[in-house]
Amino acid sequence: MVDRSGTPLVEMRDVSVSFGGIKAVDHVTIDLYPGEVVGLLGHNGAGKSTLIKCLSGAYKMDAGEIYVDGKLVDIQNPRDARGHNIETIYQTLALADNLDAASNLFLGRELITPTGLVDDARMEAETRKIMARLNPNFKKFNAPVKALSGGQRQSVAIARAVYFNARILVMDEPTAALGPQETQMVAELIEQLKAQGIGIFLIEHDVHSVMNLCDRASVMKNGQLVGTVDVDKVTDEDILSMIILGKRPEVAAS
Amino acid sequence: MADASASGTSIGRKNIFKTLEFDTRLLGMVGAFVLVCIVFNVLTEGRFLTPRNIFNLTIQTVSVAIMATGMVFIIVTRHIDLSVGALLATCSAIMAMTQTQFLPSLGIDYGSPLMAPVAIVIGLLAGGLIGAFHGWLVGYLTIPAFIVTLGGFLVWRNVAWYLTSGQTIGPLDDTFQKLGGIGGTLGTTASWIIGALAVAAACYGILQARRARIAHEFPVKPVWAEATLMALAAALILGFVATLNAYSVPTRVLAREFEARGEVMPEGFTQGYGIPFSVLILIAIAVVMTVVARRTRLGRYIFATGGNPDAAELSGINTRLLTVKVFAMMGVLCALAGMVASARLSFHSNDIGTLDELRVIAAAVIGGTALAGGIGTIYGAILGALIMQSLQSGMAMVGVDAPFQNIVVGGVLVLAVLIDIIYRKRTGDV
């Protein structure tokens, strides 16, 4: 069971984002505790990706505050987010297709030699190490990631998020493009990371995955938060009716 | 039976190239270049591949090749620069005016040792600033590069005109002129020394790369493959030096030099030209740009941004500032090209660099730079420039009419890209 007595690892308070008059995110508050997985659910266009991109630094909030370890932080761009140990695995994976796995893994944070040049050999060695842990079948270290399969590309994106000692991990539909075996691998990884005390926001369409992987679920509809529920205390149907009807189940509340 | 054996040998050949880890695209380009040379050599009855013509080819290629290295970065980041020829003209005009008007008005007269360096620094600054300004318009104000540089094409061509009142400005400083080509060469001894140093550097580089891979326990090529690579590099470098050294200074020119020093030329005295300074500058730029592309963060970000701009942005790369840097580099390279071009002419002319933008883009594209972004090499662009120049001068030597020369070059550009597209489709390569 997740201990929620202390300060949350991250709290997004009263966040609003609008695009040209349309409120994509409307006064939403969510939080996340260490070692917890919080699922974010909702239809396409419900605002979950927009909300989470404020945390990753890809979008700027129009209103609202973000607290990390109870302290107010200012996240203007992806670099700021990384500075607070917030790592994101985007749905599009955000990989440069023309570069190899190591270059992608270290993109923006290259290891350099004392002369200031990028240290490709060391980066490749580090990549081999982390890949041996995450995906032992991964062998194509010198090919551009364009030449990799969906699962292999996914593992590069995951390795990038995990390698830099993330404390807060955002995963935007990490299993959308994966086969059953690779999906299982991601599920195991999430358990592993949870055990290390990392907090994870998981954007997910599939209610069953949420029931299996998450501790809590926050459901959004039309930019607003329908509610946050303990996954153990509700049924699939409860969550589905939150998503579809925007109706909070009676038992809920957390 | 025959089929089986044929395919067997072709696989064997592929494996040799694979073991050497040769870039097949590079091989293709070298093949095309060699083919062009051989065809023209036959058509001109051996006049194409003489030391004299090779020497001329190299110094004619320098200006476009210098700019092509910068164009690679521009195109890799999914932009284009149509203003390089015009920018070259403006930088050349600024350097020429500095030498003939500005510095003399400050009391620094013709022949002063300060003349060339000051003019060059001012020219490079101007190029860098104008390039950075283009980059700011593209990166921060998000005007498409095509439009910015199309405007720049008109603006800078005519700024050059305005600065010089359309006149030819010269003669340029003697030291400055040495950077143009035949007027400034290393001589045979120094050329051999440079060649030997280059061979040593190439071998050291190959060894060092191998050592790094062994240190991290990565697979390495067999020793014979590395040795072959080294031998190949040495042969190429020393062959190039030997060719340039073999082109000897005409006896009349030598006799005049001796006369000027008040001496009498000994009977049978000969002297080779050696490597021109302008070619040295190109080689230095090629090395620096290749290191930037492959071994620096800047280069990594340039290629990442070209491959996936969103991913680069999400990785915390400041892609706007990157655009400014890339265009600023292009500007500096235009100034360097302007320096070499005007020094070769020994004066600044109003039409200097006309149509160079198209030659430069063509060189980069023939050299394998993909307009979709993310892919391109410095050596490819230089080779592309060399192929274009060979075609052009080869046809001139054969006596092809001027309009046909351009028609052929235009056709070759389109054909080269077609071949590249087919090649990529076949191999699924990037």
Q: pLDDT per residue over B85-99, tens digit each?
A: 999 999 999 999 999
A141 pLDDT higher than 70: yes
| Whether the predicted pLDDT of A182 surpasses 90 | no
Say how many domains are in chain B.
1
Residue that wins the pLDDT comparison between B258 and B194: B194
Q: Which of A221, A237, A207, A224 is nearest to A44 (CA)?
A: A221
Host H or E run for residue A203: strand A199-203
Is residue B192 in some structural domain?
no
Q: Is B295 on the interface with A (CB under 8 A)?
A: yes
Is the predicted pLDDT of residue B290 greater than 60, yes or no? yes
Chain B positions in Cβ-Cβ contact with residue A92 (cut-off 8 Å): 310-311
Query: Which ranges constitute the DSSP H helices of chain A?
Result: 48-56, 78-83, 101-105, 120-134, 150-163, 180-195, 207-213, 236-245
Whether the pLDDT of residue B5 is over 80: the answer is no
- What's the pLDDT band for A251 if we cut at 50, 70, 90? low
d(CA B358, CA B26): 22
Instruction: Provide the pLDDT for residue B15.
Output: 61
Longest dimension (CA), chain A: 63
Which of B300, B319, B322, B427 to mutate: most A Cβ within 10 Å? B300
Distance CA B419, CA A219 (A): 53
Which residue spans of chain A are classified as CATH 3.40.50.300?
A: 1-85+165-254
Helix (H) or strand (E) holding B316: none
What CATH number is given to the structural domain containing B413? 1.10.3470
**Inter-chain residue contact B216 with A124, CB threshold 8 Å:** yes
Rounded CA-CA distance B363/B123 in Å is 24
Residue with tokens 């994870």: A200
User: Residue B120 pLDDT more than 90?
Assistant: yes
Which chain A residues have a beta carbon less than 8 Å from that of B316?
Answer: 77-79, 82, 108-109
B270 occurs within a structural domain: no
Q: Determine the 3-state secondary structure of B62 from DSSP.
A: helix
**Phi and psi dihedrals of A220, rounded to 5?**
-115, 150
CB contact under 8 A, B212 and A99: no
- Determine the Cα–Cα distance for residues A235 and A232; give it in Å rounded to an integer: 8
Q: Closest partner residue to B314 among A78, A118, A124, by Cβ?
A: A78
pLDDT of residue A128: 92
Q: Looking at per-residue confidence, does B324 or B12 come out higher?
A: B324
Q: Taking a C-beta distance cutoff of 8 angstroms, is the pair A94, B314 a contact? A: yes
Q: Is the Cβ of A56 closer than 8 Å to some Cβ of chain B?
A: yes
Q: CB-based contact (8 Å) between B252 and chain A? A: no
The closest alpha carbon to B90, from B61, B137, B113, B122, belongs to: B122
Residue B8 above 50 pLDDT? no
Task: Check pLDDT > 70 for residue B10.
Answer: no
Distance in angstroms between the alpha carbons of the first and the last residue of chain B: 35
Contacts of B136-142 with CB under 8 Å at 24 or more apart are B136/B324, B138/B79, B138/B323, B138/B327, B139/B319, B139/B320, B139/B321, B139/B322, B139/B323, B139/B324, B139/B327, B140/B320, B140/B324
Looking at residue B14, its pLDDT comes to 53
Position B112 scores a pLDDT of: 86
Instruction: Answer yes or no: do B303 and A77 touch at CB < 8 A.
Output: no
| Alpha-carbon gap: B328 to the closest alpha carbon of chain A (Å) | 21
Quick one: pLDDT band at residue B166, thresholds 50, 70, 90?
very high
Q: CB distance B300–A103 less than 8 Å?
A: yes
Give the chain A residue whose CA is nearest to the CA of B373. Answer: A98
Q: What is the predicted pLDDT for the residue at A138?
A: 87
Pick the residue from chain B with its C-alpha nearest to A103.
B300
Residue with tokens 């991913």: B311
Residue among B308, B314, B428 minimizing CB distance to A58 = B314
CA-based nearest distance B294→chain A, Å: 8
Helix (H, G, I), strand (E, B) or coil at A94: coil
Q: Is B169 left (phi over 0), alpha (psi -120 to 50) or beta?
A: beta
**Per the domain annotation, does B19 fall within a domain?**
no
Interface check for B291 against chain A (CB to CB < 8 A): the answer is: yes
Site of tokens 């023309």: A98
Average pLDDT over residues A139-158: 88
Options 3.30.70.20, 3.40.980.10, 3.50.50.60, 3.40.50.300; CATH for A1-85+165-254 is 3.40.50.300
User: Are A95 and B308 within 8 A, CB to CB?
Assistant: yes
Q: Which domain holds residue B142?
A: 24-183+276-427
Query: Looking at the complex, does the CB of residue B219 fall below 8 Å from at least one CB of chain A?
Result: no
Question: Is A68 in a helix, a strand, or coil?
Answer: strand
